[in-house]
Amino acid sequence: MLSAVKRYRALLTATLRACFPRTSAYLREQHGSALSHAYPHPNAPLVSGATSRVKSKATAKARAKGAAKPRAKRAQPASEGIYGPSPLSVTTGQIQAMREQVKAAVGKGLLGEPSDEQWTMITCEHPVARVFAGAGSGKSSTLLLRVVFMLCHLKVAPERLTVISFTNASCAELRGKLVELLQFWSYPFDETSARRCVRTFHSAMGMMARQALGDPRWFEQSGRGRSGEPDDSLATGSAQRAVLKETYQSCYAENADFRERVHRLLGAPPPASGKPAGKAPLNLYRLPGEFRALPLFEAFQVQAGFAESIGLRPECLTGDGMSGVEEDFAEALALFWRSFNEQLAARGLMTFNHGFQQLTETLGDNGSSFGETALIPFSHLLIDEFQDISPQIVLWLQAAQRELTRRGQAVSLMAIGDDWQSIYGWRGSSPELFLDFDRHFPGKGRLKKSRVLRLETNYRSVAPVMEDAARMLAEVSCKQDKNCRAAKVTGPGDHGVKLVPGFDLRTGMDALLEEVTAQCSLRHTDEKTAVLLLSRGNDALKRIQARLDPALPVRALTIHRAKGLQAEVAIILDDCEPPPAHPFRNALYARSGFFRSSYDQAMRDETARLAYVAITRGASRVIWFTHNTQGAAGALVNRRS
Ligand SMILES: Nc1ncnc2c1ncn2[C@@H]1O[C@H](COP(=O)(O)OP(=O)(O)OP(=O)(O)O)[C@@H](O)[C@H]1O
């Protein structure tokens, strides 16, 4: 007799395989090669040994349902190596030439002398490497020197190398510095070359889609009168909202099942049977676990986007294993998303997520159909902020480099990031992917495992700031241990986190403004920004900015936006408490098969990491105004004592 847990797992596994053939096949393949893990394993992965016992039945069922697409060729197992088996050819002569040129650049004040750990990264010969770079460890400048080394000394053709970073702002900064450095190396590389070379994930995907998917029209860009690069930062605008609303109305009008679920979700009486459906209700709805109430069609879009980024297909979701609100939401979402996909097809549009999905599927099923030009730029990848990568992007990158390997092309991947600074879990990213890197990006032969490099010297913050920041992560189990060292000497007046508890902006605004002004006049470093004012949301920041003297060297930003920036003083305004439990996302997380922790646990950890990011923006001092001390601020008090 199977236990209830085993029956539940088998049921979910079969559903997973039927609904998400590509992702589940991938996870099944690489599960066998999973490495041992440095952190506990609270939830056993759903794709377990039990999977193989239900394999043939589930596959047959999926085929019968037409869920599994016919494949032109069998995808290579994910556990089969992609990189190597030989290291990159790096000679002592090439390293010597690089060192001499760097020395000359340092002499001209173009850059600082790289440390030994930075040199190891710059000249690494392993074709698949991951670099755990602590906050303020100079990863961006080292990444650029690595690019210079590859182009100028290893003679990698520029059209084969792509640097990927997360935001347009960070890409712009990297491009500017790269052009400057390469000019010093007398390497022909202008603004246009830099645009081609340094991209966001969405722009890189768009470049591939232009060649391989016939230059799709992107849903996210529709109605904006712009045809530039795909850009992740685009918020849902009126044109997007109109399509979502129309989908919602038509789904409501045509589908009694959808109507019923919508009424249950909104707490409305059941729809009258036998009568025309009428207009769909537009009441706001807050899914348990979410901060904001939204019209249902927007709530569906938000959750569907999350599901897609963790490798699931919203249109195939079922409520199996869920109950109450979550079950209704999942079933309604699946109906909605099927209609939405039809609306997109009718309008000749594609979402960015579908772009990633389609490219991944085509590469796996029929990679030989890809023209060489679509793939070549992905031969040598350097990825910044790797800790914020999502399963969807892992699958896509992996498929692209696997196809290049299949064609006999040399490929390499350098992933640079700081799992301690992973703060985009709410959008589907997870530091687990960086920690489980070798599962997803395996090498061949002796190079089966990636080379692990560490940048542990912090050039930004004094030791008391770093020590308090590290205290934030004491309870986070899913992390890479690091031994970060401060290069800066603690000066008079420097301090770690000074907590100001019981703070209320309504009554404490004047005291806060006084503190900000005082900190600006206490400057004793050459940081361009004296104070970074940081909060999780924009509301408090806007109110403070309205009262701040605009001449002060202060920037007010959300913690997410401040990532990568620094100031002499960081002033934090947030309790950094974890969000409420999110049963729906917990269920999606479990189905994804990529994660060990639950979504709620991931969010608790992420709150600690958010506090870590905020604290590490401060070079000399950190002041934390907080209402209560139950969240991360409280943890700091406890851990200091
Ligand atoms: N070898 C070095 N010697 C002295 N200073 C350095 C060195 N490398 C980097 N720095 C300085 O350290 C600071 C932090 O660098 P950078 O902003 O590139 O760090 P980061 O790793 O991207 O930080 P974070 O991830 O926290 O945003 C910068 O002011 C940079 O100039």
Between 220-224, 470-474, 534-538, the lowest mean confidence (pLDDT) is in 220-224
pLDDT score for 34: 33
> Which numbered atom of ligand 1 lies nearest the CA of 139?
21
d(CA 311, CA 300): 16
Q: Which residues pair with 294 in a beta bridge?
A: 285
Percent of the chain past pLDDT 70, that is, above it, reads 86
Q: Which atom of ligand 1 is nearest to the CA of 459?
A: 12
Question: How does residue 219 score in pLDDT terms, banded at 50, 70 and 90?
Answer: very high
At 58 the pLDDT is 38
Q: Whose CA is nearest to atom 26 of ligand 1?
A: 135
Distance 523 CA to ligand 1 centre (A): 20
Residues making up the chain, counted from first to last: 641
Fold of 458-640: Rossmann fold (3.40.50)
Locus of tokens 């303020």: 136
- In this prediction, residue 582 carries a pLDDT of 98
- Quick one: average pLDDT of 214-224? 90
- As annotated, the binding site for ATP includes 133-140
**For residue 205, what are its two tokens?**
């995907």
More confident residue, 32 or 93: 93
User: Which of 460, 482, 568 for a ligand 1 pocket mutation test, highest count of atoms within 8 Å of Cβ?
Assistant: 460
Model confidence at 60, pLDDT cuts 50, 70, 90, reads very low
The residue whose CA has the least distance to atom 23 of ligand 1 is 136
| Distance spanning both ends of the chain, measured CA to CA | 52
Q: Which residue has the least CA distance to atom 14 on ligand 1? A: 136
The 3-class SS string of 13-58 reads HHHHHHHCHHHHHHHHHHHCCCCCCCCCCCCCCCCCHHHHHCHHHH
Burial of residue 206 (number of CB atoms within 10 Å: 0-12, 13-18, 19+) = buried
Atom 5, ligand 1: which residue's CA is nearest?
459
Give the ipTM of the model, two decimals please.
Answer: 0.93
CA 91 to centroid of ligand 1, rounded, Å: 27
Q: Cα separation of 196 and 163, whole Å?
A: 9
pLDDT tens for 500-509 read 999 999 999 9
Confidence check: pLDDT of 47 > 70:
no
Ligand 1: residue whose CA is nearest its atom 12: 459
238-266 residue pLDDT tens: 999 999 999 999 999 999 999 999 999 99
- Give just the sign of the alpha carbon dihedral 35, 36, 37, 42: positive
330 compared with 522, residue with greater pLDDT? 330
Residue 480 has pLDDT above 70, yes or no: yes
Read off the pLDDT of residues 119-128 as tens digits, 9 standing for 90 and up.
999 999 999 9
User: What would the pLDDT profile of 314-355 be if each residue is shown by its tens digit?
Assistant: 999 999 989 899 999 999 999 999 999 999 999 999 999 999
User: How much is the pLDDT for 636?
Assistant: 84
Residue nearest to atom 9 of ligand 1 (CA): 138
Using CA atoms, how far residue 543 sits from 180, 532, 577, in Å, is 39, 15, 21
What is the predicted pLDDT for the residue at 23? 63
pLDDT confidence of residue 63: 36
Q: Whole-number mean pLDDT of the chain?
A: 87
Instruction: List, for residues 402-451, the tens digit of each pLDDT value.
Output: 999 999 999 999 999 999 999 999 999 999 999 999 999 999 999 999 99
pLDDT recorded at residue 227: 59
Residue nearest to atom 10 of ligand 1 (CA): 138
Ligand 1 shell residues, CB under 6 Å: 112, 114-115, 118, 133, 135-141, 418, 421, 459-460, 564, 616
Helix (H) or strand (E) holding 247: helix 238-254
294-295/284-285 β-pairing: antiparallel
Condensed to tens digits (0 to 9), the pLDDT of residues 350-405 reads: 999 999 999 999 999 988 889 999 999 999 999 999 999 999 999 999 999 999 99
For residue 140, give the ligand 1 atom closest to its CA.
18
Report how far ligand 1's centroid is from the alpha carbon of 136 (Å): 5
Atom of ligand 1 nearest to the CA of 133: 21
Q: Give the orientation angle of helix 391-406 with respect to helix 21-31, to 10 degrees.
A: 70
CA of residue 141 to ligand 1 center, whole Å:
7
Separation of CA 569 and ligand 1 centre (Å): 16
What are the residue ranges spanned by the domains of the chain? 4-64, 83-114+139-147+168-202, 238-352, 458-640
| Angular region, 498: left φ>0, alpha ψ -120 to 50, beta rest | beta
